[in-house]
């Protein structure tokens, strides 16, 4: 059937409309594709070119800022300083050796440095940054940055490194940090990822080591875009870590500095304690060492100088050193004899200058003897025979028990390294460790702090604080953490009869303030700060009959390391005790070196600065003033308050 012209016209109109719609759609699609291609190839070409051809996203650990350490008054004693370094990433470096050789043309790198870096690169994952060289100057850092394109995998870094502004003053207390070692990793079965970063610094000694986890903080993450040669093109994102906690110690840095200055040239230790709270105000071991040398990598020469020094600067004598307490131990013997009921406050003992036990003679330090003495007079004049007799009456076990009650023979729990427990021997100890029976001669030797008895300066300070307060004072080293005060644990009572404590206290008051006292030369003239104390001498070698017949050699004629140790313990003010001190001067001999040191430590702690000359007897003021003027003290000022998370 033939179509009409009208139908044909209508059909043509419909076909033209469809063609137009289809063509328009095609044009739109082509236009869209063209626009997108233009966007990709022209407008965004730079961005996609960077992301192509081996470009990648790297994730890096960001070491946190180590927590700061302050003294009780806000003086910085361990801080962080900027450290410029060059690091290498194995996954971006290509030929590591070639890259390091090129780097050595820009900054000082020894063959040892290069070999060490190659070894570290092989040991760690490809994405772990390995420090090639640190403590670069700004000029050296700039050279590394400018030559980045020619150094694949090498990038300049700005980080933080530990430093100790007071150098030797607090080295034994605070300690130091150093790079993570293989031993450190073995000691941590599931180590913090931060410990995998070569040359990451962790605490190695002292507070830095004992409070490592608090001071370290937690790592942050950084996402960076690098190109085909490993050069960082841009930072994509960062998740900051948590910085370490700031620690405030109970130490008074100015008192510590004063005592260090007083001890120049000596081998000695001093511990100063708050009688009520137990705060350690000073813990001095002289000579000391510079912890900054260990942080930076101490040289063989410097380490050998410390190691070979006969005054042993690397040993913390204040807590690690143990010494026979000598006559300072008579405080313990006296309390033990009284508390056992075998000695009364009114009992008197005659001292002819010796005590004969069997075939052996035990001498008193005063050859002519002291005559009749009660416990107060015996402590004041430090009569050996009185305490030989008292110890015979009560026996060694009550003495050992009282020693532990007074803080001896036990290592206090403090964040310090190598704290010694000392030794308070008894019958069981000798049987177990020496496989021998306890003898009466052992008891007599122990009565005056000789024989097997060993104590540290810290323990002597604890003993003195307990005598002064009548409480079992516990030492404390950390005052606050991130400005949050660490609670003081109330001390339990010693549960000793008050008359016994008072009787011994009168004796130690007389040591310093009586004309017959063994430390009368070190008394304090200011009646508001009068101190009580006890001297002691610890023998380093046995005195033979030949020595006695020869009248003993003069101290300056005896080799230094064979001279007796000088000890002193004290507290002040006598009527309202606030501060206690324990002092040991190695090989100080009978030259009155320990008592003046303890006196000056107490005065500084009570007055808050260099003691005023008015506190001393008039006859000594000129000499003491000259000594103080010669001291090289630091100008120490508190730092701005640290951040707080409280």
| Contact criterion met (CB below 8 Å) for 188 and 200 | no
Query: Can you spell out the DSSP letters for 528-584?
Result: GG--EEEEEEE-SSPPPHHHHHTT---GGGS-GGGSPEEEEEEEESSSS--EEEEEE
d(CA 559, CA 587): 9
Catalytic hit among 161, 283, 327, 417: 327
d(CA 441, CA 53): 87
For the question of residue 327 being annotated catalytic, the response is yes
566-584 burial code (b ≥16 CB/10 A, e <16): bbbbbbbbbeebbbbbbbb
Local structure of 1: helix, strand or coil: coil
| Contact criterion met (CB below 8 Å) for 408 and 422 | yes
User: What's the angle, vertex CA 364, arms to CA 360 and CA 369, rounded to 5?
Assistant: 115
Pairing of strands 69-70, 247-249: parallel
| Contact criterion met (CB below 8 Å) for 58 and 153 | no
| Contact criterion met (CB below 8 Å) for 511 and 331 | no
Residue 535 CA, distance from chain mean position: 28
| Contact criterion met (CB below 8 Å) for 86 and 157 | yes
Show the tokens assigned to 392. 């015979």
Distances from the Cα of 136 to the Cα of 82, 95, 118, 156, 274, angstroms: 10, 23, 20, 10, 44
| Contact criterion met (CB below 8 Å) for 569 and 460 | yes
Of 416, 226, 206, the C-alpha closest to 291 is: 206
d(CA 135, CA 158): 10
d(CA 188, CA 210): 14
User: What's the angle, vertex CA 631, arms to CA 630 and CA 634, rounded to 5?
Assistant: 135
d(CA 202, CA 221): 19
- Helix ranges, 71-211 (H): 90-93, 96-104, 111-123, 138-146, 171-174, 182-186, 206-210
Residue with tokens 């000596």: 266
Active site residues: 327
């Amino acid at each position: 059937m033939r179509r009409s012209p009208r139908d044909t016209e209508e059909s043509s109109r419909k076909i033209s409309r469809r063609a137009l719609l289809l063509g328009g759609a095609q044009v739109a699609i082509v236009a869209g594709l063209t626009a997108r291609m233009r966007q990709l190839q022209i407008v965004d070409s730079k961005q996609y070119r960077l992301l192509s051809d081996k470009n990648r996203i790297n994730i890096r650990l960001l070491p946190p800022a180590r927590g700061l350490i302050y003294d009780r008054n806000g003086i910085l004693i361990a801080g962080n300083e900027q450290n410029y370094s060059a690091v290498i990433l194995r996954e971006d470096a290509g030929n590591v050796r070639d890259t390091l050789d090129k780097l050595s043309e820009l900054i000082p790198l020894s063959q040892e440095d290069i070999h060490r870096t190659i070894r570290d690169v092989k040991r760690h994952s490809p994405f772990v940054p390995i420090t090639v060289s640190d403590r670069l100057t700004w000029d050296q850092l700039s050279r590394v940055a400018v030559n980045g394109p020619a150094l694949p995998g090498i990038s300049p870094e700005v980080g933080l490194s530990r430093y100790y502004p007071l150098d030797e003053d607090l080295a034994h207390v605070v300690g130091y940090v150093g790079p993570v070692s293989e031993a450190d990793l073995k000691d941590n079965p599931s180590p913090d990822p931060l410990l995998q970063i070569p040359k990451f610094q962790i605490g190695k000694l002292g507070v830095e080591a004992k409070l490592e986890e608090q001071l370290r903080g937690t790592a942050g993450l950084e996402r960076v875009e690098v190109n085909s040669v490993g050069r960082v093109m841009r930072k994509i994102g960062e998740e900051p870590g948590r910085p370490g906690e700031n620690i405030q110690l109970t130490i008074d840095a100015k008192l510590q500095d004063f005592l260090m200055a007083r001890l120049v040239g000596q081998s000695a230790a001093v511990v100063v304690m708050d009688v009520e709270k137990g705060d350690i105000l000073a813990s001095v071991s002289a000579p000391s060492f510079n912890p900054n040398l260990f942080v930076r990598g101490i040289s063989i020469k410097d380490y050998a100088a410390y190691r070979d020094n006969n005054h042993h600067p690397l040993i913390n004598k204040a807590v690690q050193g143990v010494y026979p307490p000598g006559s300072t131990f008579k405080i313990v013997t006296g309390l033990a004899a009284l508390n056992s009921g075998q000695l009364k406050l009114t009992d008197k003992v005659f001292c002819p200058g010796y005590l004969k036990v069997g075939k052996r003679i035990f001498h008193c330090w005063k050859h002519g003897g002291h005559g009749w003495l009660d416990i107060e007079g015996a402590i004041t004049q430090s009569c050996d025979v009185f305490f030989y007799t008292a110890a015979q009456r009560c026996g060694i076990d009550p003495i050992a028990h009282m020693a532990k009650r007074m803080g001896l023979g036990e290592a206090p729990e403090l964040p310090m390294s190598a704290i010694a427990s000392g030794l308070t021997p008894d019958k069981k100890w000798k049987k177990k460790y020496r496989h021998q029976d306890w003898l009466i001669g052992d008891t007599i030797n122990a009565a005056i702090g000789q024989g097997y008895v060993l104590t540290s300066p810290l323990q002597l300070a604890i003993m003195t604080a307990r005598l002064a307060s009548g409480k079992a004072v516990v030492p404390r080293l950390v005052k606050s953490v991130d400005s949050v005060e660490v609670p003081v644990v109330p001390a339990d009572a010693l549960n000793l009869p008050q008359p016994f404590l008072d009787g011994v206290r009168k004796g130690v008051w007389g040591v310093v303030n009586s004309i017959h006292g063994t430390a009368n030369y070190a008394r304090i003239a200011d009646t508001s700060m009068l101190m009580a104390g006890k001297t002691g001498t610890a023998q380093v070698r046995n005195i033979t009959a030949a020595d006695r017949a020869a009248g003993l050699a003069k101290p300056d004629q005896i080799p230094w390391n064979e001279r007796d140790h000088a000890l002193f313990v004290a507290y002040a003010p006598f009527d309202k005790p606030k501060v206690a001190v324990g002092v040991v001067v190695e090989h100080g001999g009978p030259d009155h070196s320990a008592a003046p040191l303890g006196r000056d430590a107490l005065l500084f702690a009570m007055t808050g600065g260099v003691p005023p000359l008015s506190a001393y007897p008039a006859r000594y003021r000129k000499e003491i003033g000259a000594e103080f003027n010669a001291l090289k003290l630091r100008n120490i000022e508190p730092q701005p308050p640290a951040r707080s998370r409280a």
